[in-house]
Amino acid sequence: MADGHGTGDVSFDLTGKVAVVTGGSRGMGRSMCLAFARHGADVVVASRKAEACVALAKEITDLTGRRAVGVGAHVGRWADCDRLAATAYDEFGRVDVLVNNAGMSPLYPSLPEVTEDLFDKVIGVNLKGPFRLASLIGARMAEGDGGSIINVSSIAAVQPTPTELPYATAKAGLNALTLGLARAFGPTVRVNCIMPGPFLTDISKAWDLDAFHERAQRSIPLGRGGEPDEVVGAALYLASSASSYTTGAIIKIDGGAAFPAA
């Protein structure tokens, strides 16, 4: 993508760009889809629930006038990743921004009771899918006009707890993948990672929120969980020419909850 570096101007303009966002129909993914469109991008909204993606795509077009397409895809499945990439290029002819945002972290009673199926699904959605999509789309970006890949990790990658170890393991792998892909696809493709802390998305409805808020007051410097829209600034920065000299970066957005990675 043309970065306009050296001009002294900082712009979040995405006019003429195409963004693909997995896990895009709700939470942080939804916020990013809407923000990209408001800044001029056409958007491919992808998640496991095709109906929700199509509904958000229509909402994006109604609100912003940008073209948006909803695609049902389970990124833990190699074939679905291939189909999603093919659909994006068939519909728009290019992809300039890929956001690997889809994730899952199911509960389990104890570590010995983690089933092979649960483990494989968590690794599949959080790591295998981003690898496949970034490999396919990143290679095409590098052959064309370049682009930006944004992975969405978690502070669990650097401060894992016993209750989310498969998830933390996958996200640590995603951090490593970010660094390797930045080297693989540079200099025309930038690959970076957003590492969120606890965000109050749909997933948080399953939490004991009273206990969370009490704990947040003690353990998070900003004293609260994040709101989905609070990821937008970093996403726009990484998607746009504003980050023209940023690649291989892992940006912690967690209210100060986690210590920096060693």
Q: Is the dihedral of CA 252, 253, 255, 257 positive or negative?
A: negative
Instruction: Say what the pLDDT of residue 2 is.
Output: 44
* Rounded Cα gap, residues 66 and 234, in angstroms: 21
Instruction: Say what the pLDDT of residue 262 is.
Output: 43
Q: Containing domain of residue 186, as a range? A: 18-252
Domain tally for the chain? 1
Per annotation, catalytic residue among 167, 241, 243, 252: 167
204 occurs within a structural domain = yes
CATH number at residue 225: 3.40.50.720
- Mean pLDDT in each 10-residue stretch from start to end of the chain (262 residues)? 55 96 94 97 97 98 98 97 98 98 93 97 98 98 98 93 95 98 98 85 56 65 71 94 97 78 45
258 occurs within a structural domain = no
* Rounded Cα gap, residues 184 and 174, in angstroms: 15
145 occurs within a structural domain = yes
Instruction: Say what the pLDDT of residue 73 is.
Output: 98
Instruction: Say what the pLDDT of residue 49 is.
Output: 95
Per annotation, catalytic residue among 25, 171, 243, 252: 171
Q: Quote the pTM value.
A: 0.91
Report the candidate in 42, 48, 46, 47 with the shortest Cα–Cα distance to residue 61. 42
122 occurs within a structural domain = yes
Instruction: Say what the pLDDT of residue 179 is.
Output: 98
Per annotation, catalytic residue among 105, 148, 153, 154: 154
Active site residue 237: no
* Rounded Cα gap, residues 139 and 156, in angstroms: 29
* Rounded Cα gap, residues 50 and 253, in angstroms: 29
Tell me which H or E stretch contains 216: helix 209-219
Q: Is the dihedral of CA 230, 231, 232, 237 positive or negative?
A: positive
Beta bridge pairs of residue 191:
149
At CA 62, angle to CA 59 and CA 68, rounded to 5? 65
9 occurs within a structural domain = no
215 occurs within a structural domain = yes
Q: Count CB neighbours of 122 within 10 A.
A: 26
Active site residue 108: no
Terminal Cα-to-Cα distance of the chain (whole angstroms): 32
Report the candidate in 181, 192, 183 with the shortest Cα–Cα distance to residue 244. 192
Report the candidate in 107, 115, 46 with the shortest Cα–Cα distance to residue 74. 46
* Rounded Cα gap, residues 202 and 8, in angstroms: 39
Instruction: Say what the pLDDT of residue 241 is.
Output: 96
Sheet with 42-47, edge to edge strand ranges:
68-72, 42-47, 18-22, 97-100, 147-152, 189-196, 250-253
146 occurs within a structural domain = yes
257 occurs within a structural domain = no
Active site residue 154: yes
